[in-house]
Amino acid sequence: MKLRAHHRTEYLYSQPARSNSNEIRLQPPHTPWQSRSFWLLKVLPATPLRHYVDLHRNGVHHFEIGEPHSRLVIDATSTVITLNRYADGEPAGIPFSALETCREDAEVTLYQKDSRYVRIDPAIWRAAIDVKGESDDVYLTAKAIGEHLYDTCRYVSGITTVNTTSTEFFQNRHGVCQDFTHLMLAMCRAMDIPARYVSGYLYDHRRGSLRGAHQSHAWVEVHLPGHGWFGLDPTNRRPVDDHYVTLASGRDYDDASPVKGSFMGSGSRVMNVTVSVEEL
Amino acid sequence: MLLDSYDTEDLFDEMFDGGREVRPHYQLLRERLDTMSREELDQKIKNLETLFIRQGITFTVYGDQRGTERVFPFDPIPRIIPADEWQIIEDGLVQRITALNLFLYDVYHERKILRDKVIPEEVVLSAAHYRPEFVDVDVPRDIYIHICGTDLIRDRDGSYLVLEDNGRCPSGVSYVLENRMAMKRVFPNLFGSAGVRSVDSYAADLLGTLQYIAPHAKPDPVCVLLTPGHYNSAYFEHSFLARQMGIEIVEGRDLIVVDGYVYMRTTRGLLQVDVIYRRIDDDFLDPKVFRKDSMLGVPGLVEAVQRGNVALANAIGTGVADDKVTYAYVEKMIKYYLDQDPILKQVPTFLAWDEKDRGYILDHLPELVVKAANESGGYGMLIGPKASKEEIEKFRQLIIANPRNYIAQPVVYFSRHPTLTDGTVEGRHVDLRPFVLSGERTHILPGGLTRVALKKGSIVVNSSQGGGSKDTWVLHPPRK
Amino acid sequence: MLSRVADNLYWMARSIERAENLARLMQASTELLLDSETLGSRYLNDYWDPILIATAMEEHFRELYPNGTAADVGPFVTLNEENPHSITMCLRDARESARTVRDQISDEMWTELNDLFLFITSRATNSLFQRAPQNVYDRIIQGSLLFHGITDATLARTEGWQFIQLGKYLERADKTSRFLDIRVHGGPDGTSLDSIQWTSILRSASAFGTYRIEVGGEPTAEGVIDLLVFSMDFPRSIRFCVREIDHLLHRISGSPAGTYCNTAEREAGRLLATLNFNGNGEILERGLHDYMDDVQKVLNTIGQSIFETYVLLPQDQLRLTFIPSSEQQQLRWQVLQQQQQQQ
């Protein structure tokens, strides 16, 4: 599927901001099931851009605007060709014992531990055990966790914030894709399944039927030894197929957030974000 | 058959590859042409010209007292661009125009790129079209070039090169639309089967772009097209576009500025104008600020723009970005503002103001093409290998006298395209001017003006100097 | 709508209507002449002089042809590009006006007008005129009629359409009044014209056929005046045209019929009332020439007032001082005023 995404973030400052430095993770990486054919990041006020690759192999662009300004626009356009990771069916049949093989792999074990927003606390562990039941299938367990969250949590915006942890969401069960993802990560990791946070876009071909399609979206990828990473979207109860565009991944939102910055200033700030994804 | 005796003369040809085999994307056209006799084609052309004259699809020839109108010479063999090639052009242009717009913002605000010495300050500040009046003036949505016509040529290996950007008042888009209409009459059956992308959405996209830049994001803004008047060579295009967009076409005298707001004079009284798509150069926009003798402009317009009460497309001062000296730095701009490598390459450029470059230019004049930095339309140009000794000497003196105003480039290569000539079909040099709209999104019209130098061997494609045009077919990606 | 656009639409219609009327006048006059082959050359001059006077071309004719003869009149009125009021120049003006407002008229209107212009300026037409001037006049009349028909069939009934109609009817009323007046110059008064001359006047106004049906018999002064001045139904009668003008002016301003909000409306209302209550008796009593002179004056006032109300906006008059007038602007206004003075 050839998809074009347009993602625009605008900050309006009531008092001029200074020393505004930002990290942007909006560049779709090349993966075996996604190739980027075009990408462009425009920042206003015009300023030089630089980039580096972070620990999680995300392409990070950063910039700083020193002089006072009352508006900041970050405008990213990308065109990608996506393939369906599940074209050959679901990767069922991998037993939990297989996870032993990644004990030594630091790049995987990183995603089995607590992180800033993902906490494996006892209540979450207990809930994960209940979902897993007698199953010895890694993929099907992860999938069941996702479905469990879809069934037991409500998708409501305005209740949680970017700083809400998995524990807080576990308690009140109202939140958005970021919260669904964090809690699913916590439950997967509680079961020792390597699971990472992925930020990206979702193309809603039926318009309005999917959650998070007109926003910056997030989902979970679990690592299946010998098969690699597979995406599951607990917010929509869907496997992550060719309707999804990956932008960045990490232990949680903190590692993968699309736009992260700080500035000096006082007064209030308004943020407007628009995301659109279309098929070409 | 028409193409039987066609000779590529081993030059890069759009239709035939090195082995003189027809390129796959031209196969259908070739088959169609093979079924047509010369007489049939001639008859169709004649009908078309009659149609053009009857509909007044003409440009005015300057210097002719009676304001003679001519038909823009039109060649019926279309230029075809396959989807994958077009994708590169489109991506490259989006990248390029984005960088140019960021550059203009920067030049009229913090000037970071100058402070960081990526581009020498003197180059920008000495540009003829730099407008100090607009330093620290915010333009709506921070877009300066809303409509750009970028001229592309093809290198010997077929890769597309940017020859120049036209970021002031680029013209020619109406010919793209009219040529298409004409071609549908010449090859009515070919369009469906060839999978040619439509160019119909241009007017709607242009209007969307204009509405997007309305001051204070005003809903339902009043947009107008400002023309120098019907004696202007591009008047047909102005009225064509205004009509397609359903907006008023106004002359300077139709507008009036009262207390910093712009109004048009209507039969009902004065009506406020929010966005002006102006087809008048900066110099003539406002006699109070620029050329005092301008009779085309609107007194007080610049102040209204500065106060943010009206938006202009393109903004004032964009000429600093399509200056031929600035051109030499566009690749650096792309790196600086976008942190990317340029997708479309450009022609190596020597700058006469740089002492080292100047020495090289003066030593190699007979091999180089010298261009004045601020001229367009093919004027003020020296084509070294074809110039006489006197001409070369004249340019040597001009360059020494005013180095800032000249650049030099190696003789560039223009691809050739089969073109109908008096007797037969021969290769003629072509370029390509795609049109880019920058509003909420950046749109590239899938097509463009293919200009063709009708004189054998000539590379001057300007309509004012013996150029014609072809319809440009951009193909849909092949179905899987 | 833009004032300049309204102005151009108005003049486009006036110019083409003027060309059509001139063509018809020339056609009728040339035919009349064929019936009077025995006339002496002195009489020939007397014959054309009133036509040149009525069309305001006399001075130019004397300038261009100091020793002009009757044979020079046809080419001068029709094709001469040095005569600013020739048919060719009227069509050029019409086309120029149309060209500046192309986005406001239909493609078909433009194409027809452009065709007509290309016809009149072509070399072939020049030689056709030598051989068969009637064919050239036919084409011009047809072209104008076609143009108005196309306008009817393709243009939305918006303000632009109203200004086009205003131009058409004002010009038509003016020309009908002038044609009625022409032969008066030839004789001591209107009543002495013979039926051949009345026939020629009817032909100039394309009214001969209608006359036979509506009035019948040999044309007489009373009958012709009834048809060309007072008819409610004949589309080239002065009363018909003024009624249309009055209606259009109210449509444009939105003021109710019977009231007025500018000079044009007041004058049109007044003229219409006069025409409604007068008959051929009043005209013959007062003299056809004087009566027509008054009609033309009122039509001039209406034209001037339309310009002042809708083109030269009152707001502008206050501010004109700080607008450096462009050369083009001056040129256009001069042209306007000249044209209006001649009516």
Beta bridge pairs of residue A63:
A22
Both C17 and C120 in a single domain?
A: yes
Distance, CA of A40 to CA of B328 (rounded, Å): 22
Residues of B with Cβ-Cβ distance to A37 under 8 angstroms: 87, 91
Distance from CA of A7 to the nearest CA of B (A): 11
Nearest CA in chain A to B103: A46
Tell me which fold the domain A2-82+257-279 belongs to. Immunoglobulin-like (2.60.40)
Decide if B143 contacts B213 (C-beta within 8 A): yes
Question: Residue B292 is part of a domain; what is its CATH number?
Answer: 3.40.50.11290
Amino acid C186: pLDDT:
47
Residues of B with Cβ-Cβ distance to A51 under 8 angstroms: 339
Rounded alpha-carbon distances, angstroms, from residue B204 to A229, B314, B437, C42? 44, 17, 11, 67
Rounded alpha-carbon distances, angstroms, from residue C129 to B176, C206, C219? 40, 21, 31
ipTM of the complex: 0.86
Amino acid C193: pLDDT:
61
Both C128 and C223 in a single domain?
A: no
Amino acid B153: pLDDT:
95
Domain edge (last residue) among C120, C155, C190: C155
Amino acid C339: pLDDT:
29
Residues of A with Cβ-Cβ distance to B337 under 8 angstroms: 42-43, 46-49
High-pLDDT (> 70) share of chain B, %: 94
Does the structure show a pLDDT above 70 at B138? yes
pLDDT digits (tens, 9 = 90+) for B258-298: 999 999 998 888 899 999 999 999 989 999 888 887 778 89
Does the structure show a pLDDT above 60 at C38? no
Amino acid identity, position C299 = L
Split into its structural domains, chain B has a count of: 2
C319 band by pLDDT with thresholds 50, 70 and 90: very low
Q: Is residue C336 part of a domain?
A: no
Distance, CA of B401 to CA of B399 (rounded, Å): 5
Distance, CA of C60 to CA of C76 (rounded, Å): 9
Q: Is residue C340 part of a domain?
A: no
Both C75 and C213 in a single domain?
A: no
Split into its structural domains, chain C has a count of: 2
Q: Write out the residues of chain B at the interface with chain A, using a CB-CB cutoff of 8 A.
A: 87, 91, 94-95, 98, 102-103, 105-106, 109-110, 112-113, 116, 142, 336-340, 441-442
Amino acid B134: pLDDT:
94
pLDDT digits (tens, 9 = 90+) for B458-474: 877 776 677 889 999 99
CA neighbor of A247 nearest in space, from A211, A210, A217, A204: A217
Minimum-distance CB partner of B254 among C4, C110, C111: C4
Distance from CA of C6 to the nearest CA of B (A): 7
Rounded alpha-carbon distances, angstroms, from residue B190 to B3, B41, B43, B193? 18, 15, 18, 6
Rounded alpha-carbon distances, angstroms, from residue B239 to B228, B245, C1, C101? 11, 10, 15, 8
Domain edge (last residue) among C155, C171, C197: C155
More confident site: C341 or C220: C220
CB contacts under 8 A, C 161-180 vs B, are 163
Domain that holds residue B404: 348-410
Q: Is residue B20 part of a domain?
A: no
Helical axes C159-186 vs C3-34, angle rounded to 10°: 30
Q: What kind and span of H or E run contains B244?
A: helix B235-245
Q: A38-47, A181-190, B2-11, B184-193: lowest mean pLDDT where? A: B184-193
Nearest CA in chain C to B54: C111
Q: Which residues of chain A form CATH 2.60.40.2250? A: 2-82+257-279
Does the structure show a pLDDT above 70 at C334? no
Domain that holds residue C182: 156-311
Residues of chain A with pLDDT under 70: none
The vertex-B300 CA angle with B298 and B302, nearest 5°, equals 95
Decide if B470 contacts B450 (C-beta within 8 A): yes
C102 band by pLDDT with thresholds 50, 70 and 90: confident
Q: Hey, which chains touch C, using 3+ CB pairs under 8 Å? A: B
The tokens for B220 are 């339902």
Decide if A182 contacts A166 (C-beta within 8 A): yes
Sign of the CA dihedral C214, C215, C218, C221? negative
Distance, CA of B334 to CA of A69 (rounded, Å): 23
- Count Cα neighbours of B273 within 13 Å in the Cβ-side half-sphere: 34
Does the structure show a pLDDT above 80 at B423? no
Decide if C93 contacts C81 (C-beta within 8 A): no
Both B240 and B302 in a single domain?
A: yes
C-alpha B316: how far from chain center:
17
Both B353 and B290 in a single domain?
A: no
Rounded alpha-carbon distances, angstroms, from residue A137 to A90, A224, C94? 12, 10, 85
Q: Return phi, psi of residue A204, to 5°.
A: -100, 90
Both B298 and B355 in a single domain?
A: no
Q: Do C3 and B248 touch (CB under 8 A)?
A: no
Both C132 and C192 in a single domain?
A: no
Nearest CA in chain B to A67: B110
Q: Do B98 and A49 touch (CB under 8 A)?
A: no
pLDDT digits (tens, 9 = 90+) for A175-226: 999 999 999 999 999 999 999 999 999 998 877 788 888 789 999 999 999 8
Amino acid B376: pLDDT:
57
High-pLDDT (> 90) share of chain B, %: 56
Is C in contact with A (3 or more beta carbon pairs below 8 Å)? no
CATH code: domain A96-256 is 3.10.620.30
String of DSSP letters for B386-412: G--HHHHHHHHHHHHH-GGGEEEEEPP
Does the structure show a pLDDT above 70 at B381? yes
Q: What is the mean pLDDT of residues B442-449?
A: 94
* Beta strand pairing call for A195-202 and A244-250: antiparallel
Both C149 and C162 in a single domain?
A: no
Q: Is residue C337 part of a domain?
A: no
Q: Is residue C74 part of a domain?
A: yes
C39 band by pLDDT with thresholds 50, 70 and 90: low
Q: Is residue C232 part of a domain?
A: yes
CB-based contacts of C313: which residues, under 8 Å, 6+ apart?
B265, B269, B270, C3
Q: Is residue B359 part of a domain?
A: yes
Does the structure show a pLDDT above 50 at C321? no
Question: Residue B383 is part of a domain; what is its CATH number?
Answer: 3.30.1490.270
Q: Is residue B300 part of a domain?
A: yes
High-pLDDT (> 90) share of chain C, %: 50
CB contacts under 8 A, B 231-260 vs C, are 235, 239-240, 242-243, 248-254, 256, 258
3-state secondary structure of C181: helix
Q: Is residue B367 part of a domain?
A: yes
CA neighbor of B104 nearest in space, from B322, B290, B406, B283: B322
Q: What is the mean pLDDT of residues C38-50?
A: 67
pLDDT digits (tens, 9 = 90+) for B384-413: 888 899 999 999 999 999 888 899 999 888
Distance from CA of B166 to the nearest CA of C (A): 26
Q: What kind and span of H or E run contains B95?
A: helix B83-107
Q: Which residues of chain A form CATH 3.10.620.30? A: 96-256
Q: What is the mean pLDDT of residues C307-326?
A: 54
Both C4 and C123 in a single domain?
A: yes
pLDDT digits (tens, 9 = 90+) for C258-305: 788 888 999 999 999 999 998 888 888 888 889 999 999 999 999 999
CB atoms within 10 A of CB B359: 12
CB contacts under 8 A, B 51-110 vs C, are 53-56
Distance from CA of B266 to the nearest CA of C (A): 4
Sign of the CA dihedral B450, B454, B455, B456? positive
Q: Is residue B136 part of a domain?
A: no
Helical axes C107-121 vs C3-34, angle rounded to 10°: 40
